Amino acid sequence: MSRRLVILDRDGVINRDSDAFIKSPDEWEALPGSLEAIGMLSAAGFDVAVATNQSGIGRKLLDRPALEAIHDKMRREARTHGGDIGKIEYCPHHPDDQCDCRKPEPGLLLRLSRSYGVPLENVPIIGDSLRDIEAARAVGGRPILVLTGNGEKTAGELDEREVEVYADLRAAVIGLTQGAEQS
């Protein structure tokens, strides 16, 4: 069986989001069940990648080594639940930079597609914000909304008949892994 790719947003999906930005490993706190969910994905044979806007770098609130330290903590904590987080692509730019990677732009997703050598058609792309859903749609992926983080607000902005919605990452992963067994 070939491995399947799943792409996760970070803030509001894996960890608590903060209006003040996550600037240090101490400020990074997993959402309930999210690490277990990543463990379930790894156990089910998914490659787990992360695509995340981190404009805190462009805003000079943290630097790249601090972001790497945060991601080291995230990987370590996922590993304690059997989860293996693969590539993490992030956009470091300020929203005013007009880059091609800050979601809803598709740049991060396209980079992951290239590095895994996997087309994004029907790849589950899980996020809590409208820009995650828009980026997923732009690349022909399978957008999945979770109601953690900005998710409740996002649900109000979307036609829920057009997007899969789950309470949180754990619920989404249960939906995905059961679907994988059936296909």
- Determine the length of the chain: 183
- Options 19-27, 121-129, 139-147, 161-169: segment touching Mg ion (CB under 5 A): 121-129
> Considering only residues 5, 8, 12, 101, which one is a binding residue for Mg ion as defined by CB under 5 A?
12
| Residue 77 binding partner per list Zn ion, Mg ion, none, with a CB distance cut-off of 5 to 8 Å that depends on partner kind | none
| Residue 9 binding partner per list Mg ion, Zn ion, none, with a CB distance cut-off of 5 to 8 Å that depends on partner kind | Mg ion
- Options 2-10, 59-67, 77-85, 160-168: segment touching Mg ion (CB under 5 A): 2-10
Site string for Zn ion, 50-89 (x = CB under 5 A): ----------------------------------------
Nearer of residues 16 and 82 to Mg ion, judged by Cβ: 16
CA atoms within 13 Å, Cβ hemisphere of 153:
7
What is d(CA 123, CA 113) in angstroms, rounded to the nearest whole number?
10
Give the active site residues: 9, 11
> Considering only residues 5, 7, 9, 139, which one is a binding residue for Mg ion as defined by CB under 5 A?
9
**DSSP 8-state assignment for residue 52:** E
Contact between 168 and Mg ion by CB under 5 A: the answer reads: no
Tokens (6 digits) for 68: 């790497």
Tokens (6 digits) for 177: 């892994």
Range 27-86, binding Mg ion (CB under 5 A): none
Range 97-136, binding Zn ion (CB under 5 A): 99, 101-102
> Considering only residues 31, 128, 142, 166, which one is a binding residue for Mg ion as defined by CB under 5 A?
128
CA angle 112, 27, 97 (to 5 degrees): 50
What is d(CA 29, CA 11) in angstroms, rounded to the nearest whole number?
10
Q: 23, 39, 2: which is closest to 170 by C-alpha? A: 39
CB contact at 8 A, 146 and 120:
no
What is d(CA 143, CA 133) in angstroms, rounded to the nearest whole number?
5
Residues that bind Zn ion (CB under 5 A): 91, 93, 99, 101-102
